[in-house]
Amino acid sequence: MTGRDASGGPDRGPTLPEELLLLALDPERGKPLCESSYLRYALAGAALAELEWAGRVGEGRGGRITVHNPLPLGDPVLDGALAALPDPTKGGQGDGGKARRWVRSAGRGVDELCRQRLEERGAIRRESRRALGLFRYERLTAGPVDLAGPAHARFKSALATGFADPCDRTFAALVAAVRLDRRLALGRDRRSVHRELKRLGREEWIARAVRSAVIEDESVGSGGAG
């Protein structure tokens, strides 16, 4: 799943955050199916999950990130996310801060890295547009290399197996954390699938951090805070 191994080996394909971005894209509108800011939190969470699998970070006390190893992996998306965490060899003492705060602060950067990488892979084209002739925004259209199809196929395969693989469970938990599952094809028994995804979202520590960031935004938007 990761782009390169720690020894700088060959590209193995899209990372989890790249796959998540492809899964979330509406090919007709060129925009995410869910709230853009929430998706950015999920992309940061997906990068954090990959870093955990690679032994670079782990779950600390109180929802904090512990940095075990600051050495880069050789993948631009993951190394960019890793660089956004405090380096324990430079006084950081391994404390990467609260995961909820980190996905909020790192989300925009990880999103941009994913877009750059997918454009390099030929999976998307980035088109600059202006709404009402004033406000600039970006559309993401399909490129010549189909990586969105495999991303959707992987999610469907994981769904069919009940998310038995730990990586698939994290994938599903992040999808649920930003309510992207409400916009995806989940088969006939959507209600039970939603329940299962919600359960996974509660169990996965990174997904909980993403969900907390989403809830914080929703609270501010409804006048509950800030």
pLDDT tens per residue, range 94-138: 666 899 999 999 999 999 999 999 999 999 999 987 766 667 778
State how far the alpha carbon of 209 is from the alpha carbons of 57, 59, 109, in Å. 15, 11, 17
108, 124, 132, 133: which is closest to 37 by C-alpha?
108
Using alpha carbons, list the distances in angstroms from residue 200 to 125, 211, 212.
Answer: 33, 12, 14
- For residue 3, name the pLDDT band (cuts at 50, 70, 90): very low
Average pLDDT estimate for 176-197 = 86
Q: What pTM was computed for the model?
A: 0.88
Decide if pLDDT at 4 tops 60: no
Distance between CA atoms of residues 93 and 102, nearest Å: 16
Asked if residue 59 has pLDDT above 50, the reply is: yes
> For residue 223, what pLDDT is reported?
43
The sign of the torsion formed by the CA atoms of 30, 33, 35, 38 equals: negative
Rounded to whole angstroms, how far apart are CA atoms 109 and 81? 8
pLDDT for the residue numbered 135: 73
Are 111 and 45 a contacting pair, CB within 8 Å? no
Q: Is the pLDDT of residue 226 over 50?
A: no
27 or 140: which leads in pLDDT: 140
Higher pLDDT, 87 or 53: 53
Confidence class for position 13, pLDDT limits 50, 70, 90? confident
For residue 8, is pLDDT > 60?
no
